[in-house]
Amino acid sequence: MGDRLPVFKMNGIGNRIAVVDLRAHLRAGGTPLTEAEARTLAGPSRGLGFDQLMALHPGRDGADVVIAIHNSDGTPAGACGNGMRCVADVLFAETDADRLVAETTAGALAMTRGPRPLTYTIDMGPARFGWADVPLAHAVSDTGAVDVPLGVDDAALLGPAACASMGNPHAVFWVSDPQAIDLARLGPMIETHPLFPDRVNVSFVRVDGPDAVTARVWERGAGATLACGSAACAIAALAARSGRTGPSVRVSLPGGNLDIEVRPHDGHILMTGLVETEAVGSIDRDTLTVDLGRAAA
């Protein structure tokens, strides 16, 4: 039997998250999870069933923790807003601090306790709008209106995409009814379109007013999910940039709501929302056997 890695089966407004604590394991000379191992842990026989896995590594260079993020297909993810709130819940249980900093491939992200129990606010940093930042396969004159040719009739009704990076790529389509979109068909077509060399997260969004939108999301590497925090941030940034909403907006997703604020003075995006712990257990590092010993109260 190998080391036992603490694991938390959680969700952020329905976005299925596994938080795996490798800090002690790595300090003792262990190795990080590989893409293949993350993909195995996402399999139905393991019982975790996550959209994203957040692997906690020891902190460094002023960060309280370093986080490696995997999608359910094992591929790395640069950002996961709902997962960051789940990480915040795990870490704040260990400390009386009001603010923690996590290092990710998307940069250093600050986490604070939210206004209500089980809510947390994550400073996701600013959105980036340059075509090479997204990235796109070639230069475009306006990343707020990018033609994504798909060659199918109903795709023409979508209009152009608004694109941005939140440390991961996002394409947002402004539509009259997100529920009318064939997400399972159009989502993967857009995710893997040659225009997006790193693939892309795809959102279909209705603007409900100056401070409210409704969205459905197809996540790269995970498919249709009940919520996507980085997508909600990209949506809010793109909506504010185009004048569709103000700087503060509630993003309604199938799993629940996220409150997003685009800070006017520096463009940083603050995301606030709930988390839930479903079960707590451990993973055998050698066999990847998962033991979810108890459900959370």
pLDDT at residue 9 greater than cutoff 90: yes
Query: What pLDDT score does 101 carry?
Result: 97
> To which residue do tokens 């190998």 refer?
2
Chain segment 124-154, per-residue pLDDT in tens? 999 999 999 999 999 999 999 999 998 776 6
Q: Supply the pLDDT for residue 272.
A: 97
- 247's CB contacts (< 8 A; 6+ apart) are 240, 261, 262, 263, 264
Is residue 115 very low, low, confident or very high in pLDDT (cuts 50, 70, 90)? confident
pLDDT of residue 79: 82
| Region 4-125+275-295: CATH code | 3.10.310.10
Instruction: Give 217-257 pLDDT, tens digit per residue.
Output: 999 989 999 999 999 999 999 999 999 999 999 999 999 99
The residues spanned by each domain of the chain are 4-125+275-295, 153-267
Over 60: is that where the pLDDT of 297 sits? no
The two tokens of residue 222 are: 């995970």
pLDDT of residue 104: 92
Q: Which helix (H) or strand (E) holds 108?
A: strand 107-113
For residue 136, the model assigns a pLDDT of 98
The pTM score is 0.91
Find out whether the peptide bond into 135 is cis, omega within 30 degrees of 0: yes
Predicted local confidence at residue 274, as pLDDT? 96
Residue 228 a catalytic site member = yes
CA distance 160 to 55: 36
* pLDDT level of residue 45 (50, 70, 90 thresholds): confident
CATH architecture of 153-267: Roll (3.10)
Select which of 80, 86, 163, 233 is catalytic.
80
Q: What is the pLDDT of residues 58-87, one digit of tens each?
A: 999 899 999 999 999 999 987 899 999 999
Question: pLDDT tens across 169-187, in order?
Answer: 999 999 999 999 999 999 9
Active site residue 86: no
- Which tokens go with 71? 């999608």
pLDDT at 1 over 60: no
State the catalytic residue, choosing from 86, 163, 228, 233: 228
